[in-house]
Amino acid sequence: MKESSYDRITNSRFYSLGDKLGDIIMLSFFWLICSLPIVTMGPATCALYFAMHKRFADKSETPVRDYWRSFKGNLGQGIVLNIILLLYAGVTGFNIFVAWKGFNGIKLPDWYLPVAILLVLPLVFCVPYVFPYLARFKNSTKNTLFHSFTFATMYAGHTLLMWLFMILSLAVMIAFFPSMLFMPFVCCYLCRRLIERDFGFALLQKEKREHPERFREEEDEDDEEEYYEEYEIDEEDDEESDDESEIEEETPSDDEEPSKEEES
């Protein structure tokens, strides 16, 4: 059956590229619009991560629908988490200012400034994981914060790298305003590659704790296969050694004179 012109266009690489660029622009635009009230930046980030995960992991062809479904479903808890992080950032920021400059003529000891700066670390470690965790798992607000902090401390290298991605993305958007239509997507994509590795390892460890017998059986099967492989190798070595011994028996010694047939 002859392919129609419409099918040729929709199946072309150019159309596929345009479709992907459209998804990137739309998701980035929706994230910007939903982040403007500030308190909804958390649910917007959660929805962007969820739509991207569905797009790449589950091959979803409806990223816009996935975005709004996640945004509505996690709006309440996302706002609560966002307000908690904003309040903590405000309190720690004010604490650092007071420790550095003083307040109403009150000057704190010099040793308190490093302590005030250290209090920022829980915020730094929670932010990269908290909203991706909310997008992927259902849990209470307390456990979401706790698990996010745990992931960040376990994978400190990934945490610092994601902060680098976020800072560079923000700098690019400030320096080049049109980049706002694609940089949120790019930043989320780069962070997702690191986060999903950490989530995947955690899920594997949870599966091992809940079903140890399943992994024990797999280990036994692997050990059995390795045993048979070693046994087959030993048999091959024995056969080769037998062949070598036969060859050695057939070869004449140096003392024996070669026959005439060998000389001719």
Task: Domain ranges for the chain, please list them.
Answer: 7-210, 212-242
For residue range 114-151, what is the model confidence (pLDDT) as tens digits?
A: 999 999 999 999 999 999 999 999 999 999 999 999 99
Q: What pLDDT shows up at residue 10?
A: 52
Residue range 101-105: mean pLDDT, rounded: 79
Residue 106's SS3 state is: strand
Q: What pLDDT shows up at residue 5?
A: 56
Q: What pLDDT shows up at residue 219?
A: 62
Cα–Cα dist 173/181, whole Å? 9
Residue 103's SS3 state is: strand
Orientation angle between helical segments 183-210 and 212-250, nearest 10 degrees: 80
b (16+ CB within 10 A) / e for 128-166 = bbbbbbbbbeeeeeeebbebbbebbeebeebbeebeebb
Residue range 82-91: mean pLDDT, rounded: 95
pLDDT at 56 over 90: no
Q: Which residue has the higher pLDDT, 187 or 7?
A: 187
pLDDT at 59 over 70: yes
Cα–Cα dist 259/256, whole Å? 9
The length of the chain in residues reads: 264
Cα–Cα dist 175/185, whole Å? 17
Q: Which residue has the higher pLDDT, 35 or 254?
A: 35
For residue range 193-207, what is the model confidence (pLDDT) as tens digits?
A: 999 999 998 888 888
Residue range 142-165: mean pLDDT, rounded: 94
Identity of the highest mean pLDDT range in 95-109, 142-156, 216-230: 142-156
Residue range 45-73: mean pLDDT, rounded: 92
**Spatial contact of 28 and 180, defined as CB atoms under 8 Å apart:** yes
Q: Which residue has the higher pLDDT, 223 or 36?
A: 36
**Spatial contact of 32 and 184, defined as CB atoms under 8 Å apart:** yes
Q: Which residue has the higher pLDDT, 263 or 242?
A: 242
**Straight-line distance from the first to the last Cα atom of the chain, in angstroms, rounded to the nearest whole number:** 74
Identity of the highest mean pLDDT range in 55-59, 101-105, 247-251: 55-59
CA distances from 222 to 159, 206, 218 (A): 35, 21, 6
Cα–Cα dist 223/218, whole Å? 9
Orientation angle between helical segments 141-154 and 183-210, nearest 10 degrees: 100
Q: Which of 94-108, 153-167, 233-247 has the lowest mean pLDDT?
A: 233-247
Q: How confident is the model at residue 41 (pLDDT cuts 50, 70, 90)?
A: very high
120 φ/ψ angles, rounded to the nearest 5 degrees: -80, -20
Q: What pLDDT shows up at residue 110?
A: 83
Residue range 7-30: mean pLDDT, rounded: 74
Q: How confident is the model at residue 249 (pLDDT cuts 50, 70, 90)?
A: very low
**Pair of tokens at residue 114:** 């490093």
**Spatial contact of 141 and 207, defined as CB atoms under 8 Å apart:** no
